[in-house]
Amino acid sequence: MTRPNGAQKRSNTSIKDQAVLSPQEHHEKTDYSRWRLRDDHGTHTWHYLETDEEIKAWPQTTADKYFLGMETGLPNLPPARKPLESIRNGLSFFSALQLEPGNWACEYGGPMFLLPGLVITWYVTETPIHEAFKTEMKNYLFARQHPEDGGWGLHIEGDSSVFGTAMNYTTLRLLGADPEDPRLIKARQTLWKLGGALNGPHWAKFWLSVLGVLEWEVVNPVPPEIWLLPDWVPIAPWRWWIHIRMVFLPMSYIYSKKWSYPLNDLTRQLRSELLTQPFETIKFDNHRNTISPLDNYHPKSWFLNVINWFLVYVWFPILRPASLAKKGEDWVWWLVRAEDDNTSFSNLGPVNGPLNALVCYIHDGPSSYNFREHLKTLPEFLWVKDEGMLMNGTNGVQVWDTAFLIQAVHDAGLAEDPKWKPMLLKALEFLEDQQISEECRDQQKCYRQQRKGAWGFSTKKQGYTVSDCTSEGLKAVMLLQNLPGYPKLVSERRQKDAIDVLLTMQNKSGGCASYEPTRGSELLEYLNAAEVFGRIMVEYDYPECTTAVVTALHMFSKHFPDYRKDEIAAFKNRAIDYIRRAQRPDGSWYGSWGICFTYAGMFALESLACVGETYANSERVRRACQFFLDRQMEDGGWGETYRSCETGVYCQHPQSQVVQTSWVVIALLEAGYPERGPLERALRMVVGRQQKNGEWKQEAIEGVFNKSCMISYPNYKFIFPIKALGMFAKRFGDVELI
């Protein structure tokens, strides 16, 4: 697996100069004992150490080794028979993964369309890539190539698609893979069978046009002038879901400029590798709407097709005044800069990060301050694991996983145990450090939600409030700070600031969305141009987010009964009503951020429990429990595949899953389900899967977004079994399970 020390040389040459490497190179691995994760106030970056002095000065930690899939040396523990023994073993392993600032981290992979955007951005801006990064990125892409057909899907478990295959093939080539490598030949064959890059979705066509491999005529329009629409217009972009508007913002600038990288030998070759007919014979505007059925999860509406037709054949060539184009571009540029400033160049996510970087490059040039700052923050999305280097779905999971771990240990009744107190104290210090303390620059002008007092999903630096991240962060803080022996690090005022933010987040329906309350009609889905995702245009109500907010308000009002009392009570009532309405006739709830019914059911039943609605007194809760009981598997576990998210119908996984089983156990315990039997059988399976050193191994992917794309939450396999076992022991005692 490793190369001799020092054999990996640093390279500062542009990736352009190394387009073709020898076939042997493809099997290279870096020396894994040289990788280190730095965590600076939650900001993660991976480093490859060059010299022996560096290695001595910066030893590899247990967490580094675990992330890299190396032997951690953590000891075998006495076998667990009872819930609390299993929790202790789990915590003894998981506590060794806590990082210096107090947070947990992990790979946050799954989506297979992120790394291509970054590598294309680096390539077209002629940014040198560290040799070790290149090697491991190639390794990851090869490791995730589907063995049967050589392609890639939208996400790691998804079937091969044009988006996945064209983008990752291109990425491998930009990173120096040889087109005659048998794995690339196989990928090409699959891509051609699927119709080649012309059958890709909008975002594939966009990136390949930036790279200069396709012509801009193949890209459906993204006019910057849409940002000039007055706010009252029902389709104005400030109403869109924030991820879509922050992606279409920089995209519109680049589209308007029709900026492309000049053709070179490699991109010329890519034209023949990615296309099924000679480039010169293609009439690109005829292919704006061609798309393989495998990519077409959400077909474009006829309405959008008409608008696109008008934009392509009338607006852009005939009507568009140059002054309006300029005004649109200028305003978009202003908004891009505001986003960069408000996130210290971290940006909202892994798609708009590279796009904003490219906008700064185009607008300000390669040596500009803005572009250079982007180059510093882009690596914060990267992660190294045993399979190689990937791009995470966010710049980390810091606040989210840390808040959940605190709650799990608390719910297991172990927060005052001297053994775990130092760990929890550090976790609390981390959350204190990560609470957002100021509003954005030009908050109104850039349509940002109130955020002072909030927590985000990853870091304070990224700076976006999320309804449930603020809630889970606040709950974790309140749980610890109200125990004897924990300092009050987050003051009363700051807890109230968090509540003030939460109180801005409710929709008219009573439910809560993710980053902002819903600002536009669901009809905006008729303008969904991305093809590969569903439900992306506006915010929706989510049982998960709503529950987090309700339970945070509930806990807060126990400690501060007078603060905004009536508003909190009204908020709670309306939210619980929404949860009740969102239940399906079969007793389940559809989950949008975890797979799928098992995830949402856990939250919804927690909501109902917090207003005293349980198995004993509610037909609704009994129906929800029955839904789960009907699906318990032979071995006592539950298992649901990601197809549930795509189809909206519960899809049975052939294997039970530790994480989903824990979710259901938590759900049934929240519901006050009276019988011990099904819970015991479930937890027996969970404890049976625990390894001798206390860890649980990775199973199927846990998370989802936009209905079609899955994403990994590797720490869930620690957090949720601990919580489920702890809640069970509290209720039924620390009984022998095995």
Residue numbers at the binding site for ligand LAN (CB under 6 A)? 243, 247, 349-351, 393-394, 400, 457, 466, 468-469, 514, 533, 544-545, 593, 705-706, 711
CB of 593 to ligand LAN, least distance (A): 4
Tell me the three state secondary structure of residue 360. Answer: helix
Note whether 292 and 194 are within 8 A (CB).
yes
Q: Which is nearer to ligand LAN, 190 or 706 (CB)?
A: 706
Note whether 219 and 259 are within 8 A (CB).
no
Q: Which is nearer to ligand LAN, 112 or 415 (CB)?
A: 112
CB of 663 to ligand LAN, least distance (A): 13
Q: Which is nearer to ligand LAN, 546 or 614 (CB)?
A: 546
Q: Which is nearer to ligand LAN, 144 or 243 (CB)?
A: 243
Any alpha helices (H) in 17-82, and if so which ranges?
52-57, 62-67
Q: Which is nearer to ligand LAN, 80 or 446 (CB)?
A: 446
Note whether 15 and 123 are within 8 A (CB).
yes
Note whether 6 and 55 are within 8 A (CB).
no
**Cα(119)–Cα(358) distance, integer angstroms:** 12
Note whether 204 and 299 are within 8 A (CB).
no
The pair of structure tokens assigned to 530 is 């991305």
CB of 268 to ligand LAN, least distance (A): 30
**Cα(688)–Cα(110) distance, integer angstroms:** 27
Residues paired with residue 506 on neighbouring β-strands, in sequence order: 512
**Cα(656)–Cα(652) distance, integer angstroms:** 9
Note whether 726 and 414 are within 8 A (CB).
yes
Note whether 446 and 331 are within 8 A (CB).
no
What angle do the packed helices 352-364 and 242-257 form, to 10 degrees? 30
Residues paired with residue 155 on neighbouring β-strands, in sequence order: 111
Note whether 658 and 684 are within 8 A (CB).
no
Task: Concatenate the DSSP letters of all residues of 510-541 into one string.
Answer: S-B-SSS---S-GGGGGG---SS-SS-SS---
Note whether 707 and 661 are within 8 A (CB).
no
Q: Is 97 exposed, middle or buried (0-12, 13-18, 19+ CB in 10 A)?
A: buried
Does 330 participate in catalysis according to the annotation?
no
**Cα(676)–Cα(249) distance, integer angstroms:** 53
Any alpha helices (H) in 16-144, and if so which ranges?
52-57, 62-67, 83-95, 115-124, 131-143
Q: Which is nearer to ligand LAN, 459 or 690 (CB)?
A: 459
Question: Token match 């300092």: residue?
Answer: 487
Question: Token match 């924030």: residue?
Answer: 242
Note whether 704 and 598 are within 8 A (CB).
no
Tell me the three state secondary structure of residue 37. Answer: strand
Note whether 66 and 698 are within 8 A (CB).
no
CB of 432 to ligand LAN, least distance (A): 20
Q: Quick one: CA dihedral 119, 123, 124, 128, positive or negative?
A: positive
CB of 333 to ligand LAN, least distance (A): 20
Question: Among 178, 468, 497, 541, which one carries the catalytic annotation?
Answer: 468
Note whether 402 and 431 are within 8 A (CB).
yes
Return the half-sphere exposure (C-beta side, CA atoms, 13 A cut-off) of residue 624.
40
Q: Which is nearer to ligand LAN, 468 or 516 (CB)?
A: 468
The C-alpha angle with vertex 288 and arms to 283 and 291, in degrees rounded to 5, equals 110
CB of 703 to ligand LAN, least distance (A): 7
CB of 349 to ligand LAN, least distance (A): 5
Return the half-sphere exposure (C-beta side, CA atoms, 13 A cut-off) of residue 693.
12
Note whether 660 and 641 are within 8 A (CB).
no
Catalytic residues: 468
